[in-house]
Chains A and B, each alone.
Chain A
């Protein structure tokens, strides 16, 4: 067993290093992200309605571009909020 102090340092480091390795869209080989699929898109916006940055969601750059366009289209047509108040 390590000292409490050391254990704490290790857990912090592990927490910081923990990273989602792969883009959820790449693993499904998604070619288009459908703006008419609000259920899916909602997973990539915050409670406030903001688009989740890819450093948080782990989405690759290519799919993040497709995703952000889909979310914006979806907002325009009233499927997703521009902002949500809690």
Chain B
């Protein structure tokens, strides 16, 4: 079975309680783990959106990085479409026909770079905005 390397970001409403958020996370993680290999799951916390989406100004960002056959992203997106508290998602195919363990090693090596690009370095929970033109984020210069 040919499997590819994908990443999916999904954005949920910022006003969900922990149980609601956990239900969505567990469901989507479960789908990935069932049909493929989940390499990385990250929660980026609440961030300011660059523009209002469905009348909300913040979103809670989650990130999945996985290796799976081509049908899996479709199944994942079908499930994301069913969640009406999930306001945005994007799936990108990163590499074709990969080996899960090789991809996992590369994925783990890329964690820090991603965190610094996103301005996640501070351990504060609500990751602050990344559109740092107009926000004074003292951590944005790190890394």
* Chain A residues within CB distance 8 Å of chain B: 34-40, 42, 73, 75-83
Contact = CB atoms under 8 A, between A and B. Distances in A.
B48 to A, nearest CB: 9
A76 B140 contact: no
A82 B51 contact: yes
B133 A73 contact: no
Given A75-B50, A78-B53, A78-B59, A38 B130 contact: yes
Contact of B140 (A34, A39, A77, A83): A39
Interface residues of B, number: 20
Given A39-B132, A81-B51, 15 more contacts: A36-B114, A37-B117, A37-B118, A38-B117, A39-B130, A40-B117, A73-B92, A76-B90, A77-B11, A78-B50, A78-B51, A78-B59, A79-B50, A79-B131, A80-B50
A81 B140 CA distance: 19
Interface of B: 9, 11, 47, 49-51, 53, 59, 88, 90, 92, 114, 117-119, 130-133, 140
Contacts of A77: 9, 11, 88, 90
Nearest to B63: A36
A35 B133 CA distance: 17
Contacts of A75: 50
